[in-house]
Amino acid sequence: MLRFIGSFFGAIFTMVTMGLLFAALTVGGIFYMYSRDLPSSDSLAHYAPPTISRIYSAEGAVMDEFATERRIFVPIDDIPDLVKDAFISAEDKHFYTHAGYDVEGMIAAARDAIVSRGKNARGASTITQQVMKNFLLSGDRSAERKIKEIILAARLEKTLSKDKILELYLNEIFLGQNSYGVAAAAQTYFNKDLADLSPHEAATLASMPKAPSDFHPVRNKARLLERRNYVLQQMWQNGYLDEATYTLEKDAPLQSVQNGDFAAYRNVLPPRDYFTDEIRRQLSGTFGQDEFFSGGLSIRATEDPELQKLAAEALREGLEKYDRSQGVWRGTGKALKPADLAPGAWRAALAAVAGLPRDVEGWHAAVVLQLGADTATLGIEGVDDGTDATLPAKDVTWARKRNKDGTMAKKAKVPADLVDIGDVVMVRAITNDDGSFARWSLRQVPEVQGGFMAMDVNTGRVMAMQGGFSYEDSVFNRATQAARQPGSSF
């Protein structure tokens, strides 16, 4: 009997051992098969990411920037611990202890998927695996790609240090709004440098990798807030925040550039003009588009800001004076729908109208809201409600409209002779000799254009250049791109 029992358990032990051996050989064979012909991870040691090219003034201020992927590369030593801790807590809390893949995380993810019947499926990829997926593999979700991901992650852990892997991850990851890497995202969402982020702001950024479009700070504000507070909780549980800080930060409101809580970084820069765009055009031809938009070039412009301002003003004044002497009103050719003229709607609708010369100093976009017997009531961009926003009859007597058949109408006597309700127009404030406000005046982009360039004859440096009346109206640079004989223009 004892011999039978011993034989029975011996057989079971043999079967289990053989089964485990067979499973191990099968898994090993699968990993061996997929490990062949995998891309090399050696190139990541010399990774040079696409970064922003910037144009600086002589004083060192940023004048403009260009990028296909908006990325600001930051070495790992310059990334604050707070930001590192937030992403590690959100994405891979065992980052500094695993060998590239996290078995515990895989088991937990599988358990959650089974318990929730697939409704609560979550990723189990480590930061190292995500680096391999972003750099060397496709983004498809398949068992084959996951196996390759694990193999490459294990190899990468033997090639690069943990800090180097984290540096690659934090500078490469897409965080929405054309922002790649944490530094660009901090500017995009908060208009701040990484060092100035608070814990709840760092946690907000760390909430994005999952799916930036699903955690938009305006469209999905509640969902982003929930995810942010989860990341803060993980930071507290992992020992990166004390309980008092965690409690304070999770109660902080969710603020962002997109919600209007901070000024947008782009709005802090000077508006793009003919000078910086000509630099783009010439350097793109010299170095190629790819290098200019992704090479992280630092360009020092020769522009003299004061001369440039005077050049723009002089050219605009001359062109506008000639245009008004012709006495023809063309307007902008744009109009708002009647539904957009309501008191609570016209500002947003007007702000959405593109192609207006908003870069002309002193000019405002406006919409005609009402027409009276001898005045027009306007809604003016950047002017508070309750402010005098009427267009008087005496401002329109210089012009006449062109009829549809090409003939000229009679000279205008009242605003209704030139504009209709809903018309989008440009206006500027006319002042009295003492500087006080006198009235609003209709403006339009001149039909006849021109260009201006001023150079230092000793050095060849271009000090000022204006390629037309308004860059926002027309990017064509008449100072460099127009093929005209100089002749009588001297």
Fold (topology level) of 69-268: Penicillin binding protein transpeptidase fold (1.10.3810)
Helices (H), 238-376: 243-250, 265-268, 274-287, 289-294, 305-326, 346-351
Question: Model pTM?
Answer: 0.76
Bridge-based pairing of strands 423-431 and 400-401 is unpaired
pLDDT computed for residue 133 by the predictor: 76
pLDDT computed for residue 375 by the predictor: 94
331: left (phi over 0), alpha (psi -120 to 50) or beta: left
pLDDT computed for residue 211 by the predictor: 86
Bridge-based pairing of strands 328-329 and 400-401 is parallel
CB-based contact 469:315 (threshold 8 Å):
yes
CA 126/CA 432 separation, integer angstroms: 68
Q: Which residues, including other chains, have CB under 8 Å from residue 269's CB and lie 6 or more apart?
A: 62, 63, 64, 65
Tokens of 381: 């961009």
Annotation says 157 is catalytic: no
342 DSSP 8-state letter = S
CA 236/CA 249 separation, integer angstroms: 11
For residue 121, the one-letter residue type is A
Q: What is the CA radius of gyration of the chain?
A: 32
Task: Tell me the torsion sign for CA atoms 481, 485, 487, 488.
Answer: negative
Bridge-based pairing of strands 70-71 and 179-180 is parallel
Query: Which of 54, 73, 74 shows the shortest CA–CA distance to 64?
Result: 54
pLDDT computed for residue 387 by the predictor: 82
pLDDT computed for residue 480 by the predictor: 94
- Torsion angle, CA of 261/263/265/269, rounded to 10 degrees? 180
CB-based contact 74:94 (threshold 8 Å):
no
Catalytic residue among 41, 53, 89, 91: 91
CA 87/CA 185 separation, integer angstroms: 13
Report, as ranges of residue numbers, the positions in the chain whose pLDDT lies below 50.
24, 27-36, 38-39, 118-122, 137-138
CA 299/CA 301 separation, integer angstroms: 6
CB-based contact 442:391 (threshold 8 Å):
yes
Annotation says 149 is catalytic: no
Catalytic residue among 138, 142, 436, 488: 488
Q: Convert 295-323 to b/e letters by CB count within 10 Å (16 or more is b).
A: bbbebebbbbbeebeebbeebbeebbeeb
For 290, list phi and psi in degrees, rounded to 5: -60, -45
Tell me yes or no: is domain 331-443 CATH 2.40.50.140: yes
